[in-house]
Amino acid sequence: MVKQRFNFGMAVCAAILTSLLAMPLAARAAPLDIVRPVQSCASLAQLDLGDVGGAGSHIVKAQESVSAGVTVCAVEGTLAPSIGFSVQLPTKSWTQRYLQLGCGGLCGHASLDIGAADGCRLVQAGGFVTAATDMGHQGMSGEFGQDAQKRADFAHRGVHLTALAVKKLIRAYYGQAARYAYFNGCSDGGREALVEAQRYPDDFNGIIAGAPAMNFQVQNSLYHGWQARSNSDADGKAILLAARLPLLHAAVLKQCDALDGQVDGLIADPRACHFDPAPLQCSQNKVGDAACLSAAEVVAVRKLYDGPRDTASGERLTIGGPQPGSELAWAGVFVPRSENEGIFSERIALDALRNLVFPKNPAASYSLHDLKFDKATFQQLVPLHALYDATNPDLSAFAQSGGKLILWHGWADPHISPLNTIAYHEAVRTTMGADKATGFERLYLLPGVYHCAGGEGPSAIDMLTPMVAWVEDHVAPEAIVAATPVKRPGSFGLPPVLAGRPPLPPGAQPPAGMSMLPSGADQAPQQSRSRPVFPYPVQARYDGKGNPDQASSYQAATPAADYATPAWAGSIFYMPYAPLE
């Protein structure tokens, strides 16, 4: 099987890598004429949206403004009962393309931040109408889950109705429909992207799904609940603190960095790394030493990597945990910086468990101590799987409509294990047939990249330009170049989370290329790097001669092994199913 997959990638990747590195993909996108408005921006306030969202749907305001140097008609509206959306329609530069953006976390706000499009010329020139939705509620709290309608709005209705409403606005404002429609989202935005491909295959021509929270039910409950509980002692205090993470990360790199043939601070495929934290445990005469871990810390680390299992059978309850190489990204997510700091995992798990994932919500007093990691709890999550989750691999209708799908994920993502996305990619190929799937779907995995952006690996990447070329010019994407971001990357509509860079232990030095400035600070990189990223499972391999920080020094290489997706309680989720409305 690995030879079949490798031949697919190698046959095309090696042939076009040189040209891709030399020629911007934007040059390959079919030119479309710029279309100007046929009516005033203010007149859009009178547009009736009742046929889209039902009675009460309306435009809240429409006025011209300037966004990133582009003059736009900025529109805000509401689709009944409470789906808010924001749209920016360029007044002088529209190239007949529409781009809808996903939002992260539990959404609650309409963000027009465009991620995974670094250097995209069409974006820079204001060529897209852009839009986003709050998914039917305001704020990051999960309390909207007390309302069945708002559950459906968040699960799928918000993104779909927004697409319909914006397309109506486009026709009214420009006097014609958009020629092409695209969706780009990461995290829950990646889930929203897959919801569109699976439920509404005619909404978009091209869909980009980054780090998708496709297993929403178990991700936001069992995964994050386990990560929070595993790092707590009997008194509820954190066992492992962020100051210990550089020590752990350095040990992982010492054991696994060279497995891909290059010592560069990155692990090309963490599945090859079978890291054991036991050698880090302090001996009896060194207990409390900053250069080793306590016995309790070692146990916690093992649990964090492994993920929850059924207490009786040992069966996995999630598809996998964070991968080796992601340790520095654990800070604030499930490893606090101090004993008194809250963590993201606890908050997101409690919100989901109290408000969203069960058919009937538990009492408001429900706590993580009430969460049992067993098959019985898992079964309670199954009824709403077909409402929230986006794991249906049957994309026949999407493929039939000519749709294209790019999946991508950072290998060092602490929030959502990349094993979820690999499993979906493989399920699509199994369900659709490998040849047919190759015609419309690609997966890219970025070494050393955190959740949606950032990390030690090159994370600035443009997935949008190759998607446009694929949809409009029928040029399938192969090698895509990722680089060290010049400044803070886009947030993909994600709310501020507590992920960040932990403090170094006394005397320790940061890994190569890693800045220890506060997380999120705009800054020039310490060292600029670029790497090609190939369609999975093909990997980038250093040629041993050129500058290791330049993409041109890498070539396509066969993976060392063909790894099986772990069996887990939700394996059946990756089989075709009927969506729940």
Integer Cα distance of 55 and 78 in angstroms: 11
Question: In the 3-class helix/strand/coil scheme, how is 96-162 assigned residue by residue?
Answer: CEEEEECCCCCCCCCCCCCCCECCCHHHHCCCEEEEEECCCCCCCCHHHHHCHHHHHHHHHHHHHHH
- The sign of the torsion formed by the CA atoms of 505, 508, 509, 510 equals negative
Distance CA 391, CA 574 (A): 5
- H runs (alpha helix) in 224-316: 224-230, 245-256, 295-306
Burial class (CB in 10 A: 0-12, 13-18, 19+), 314: exposed
The pair of structure tokens assigned to 438 is: 């190759």
Q: For residue 580, what are the CA distances in angstroms to 140, 358, 386, 387? A: 24, 14, 5, 5
> How far from the centroid of its chain's Cα atoms is residue 179's Cα?
27
Q: Whole-angstrom Cα distance, residue 184 to residue 296?
A: 42
Beta bridge pairs of residue 183: 100, 207
d(CA 465, CA 477): 10
Residue pair 484/464 in contact (Cβ under 8 Å)? The answer is no
Backbone angles phi, psi at 78, to 5 degrees: -130, 135
List the alpha helices (DSSP H) in 234-280.
245-256
- Report the C-alpha dihedral over residues 544, 546, 547, 552, rounded to 10 degrees: -110
Identify whether the C-beta of residue 490 lies closer than 8 Å to the C-beta of residue 115.
Answer: yes
Give me the torsion for CA of 389, 393, 397, 401, rounded to 10°. 100
> Please, which residues bridge with residue 483 across strands?
460, 530
Write the DSSP string, 408-468. EEETT-SSS-HHHHHHHHHHHHHHH-HHHHHTTEEEEEETTB-SSS-BSS--EEB-HHHHH
- What are the backbone dihedrals phi and psi of residue 24, each rounded to the nearest 5 degrees, phi first? -60, 135
Burial environment of residue 55 by CB neighbours within 10 A (0 to 12, 13 to 18, 19 or more): exposed
Cβ–Cβ under 8 Å, residues 82 and 165:
no
Question: What's the pLDDT at 30?
Answer: 56
Per-residue pLDDT of the chain (581 residues; tens, 9 = 90+): 444 443 433 333 433 333 344 344 444 555 899 999 999 999 999 999 999 999 999 999 999 999 999 999 999 999 999 999 999 999 999 999 999 999 999 999 999 999 999 999 999 999 999 999 999 999 989 999 999 999 999 999 999 999 999 999 999 999 999 999 999 999 999 999 999 999 999 999 999 999 999 999 999 999 999 999 999 999 889 999 999 999 999 999 999 999 999 999 999 999 999 999 999 999 987 777 889 999 999 999 999 999 999 999 999 999 999 999 999 999 999 999 998 899 999 999 999 999 999 999 999 999 999 999 999 999 999 999 999 999 999 999 999 999 999 999 999 999 999 999 999 999 999 999 999 999 999 999 999 999 999 999 999 999 999 999 999 999 999 999 999 987 544 556 654 443 333 333 333 333 333 232 233 333 333 458 999 999 999 999 999 999 999 999 999 998 878 899 999 999 999 999 999 99
Predicted local confidence at residue 527, as pLDDT = 54
Compute the distance between CA of residue 66 and CA of residue 55 in angstroms, rounded to an integer. 32
Three-class DSSP category at 554: strand
Cβ–Cβ < 8 Å for 490, 463: no
Maximum CA extent, the chain: 80
The residues that bridge with 55 in the sheet, in sequence order, are: none
The three-state secondary structure class of 373 is coil
- What's the predicted TM-score (pTM) here? 0.90
User: Phi and psi of 375, rounded to 5°?
Assistant: -65, -30
Distance of CA 551 to the CA centre of its chain: 23
CA distance 468 to 140: 32
Q: How far is CA 352 from CA 35, 68, 144, 495, 569, in A?
A: 44, 36, 11, 16, 19
Q: Identify the CATH homologous superfamily for domain 2-215+388-495+522-553.
A: Alpha/Beta hydrolase fold, catalytic domain (3.40.50.1820)
- DSSP-assigned beta bridge partners for residue 84: 78
CATH 3.40.50.1820 region(s) of the chain? 2-215+388-495+522-553
pLDDT for 505:
35
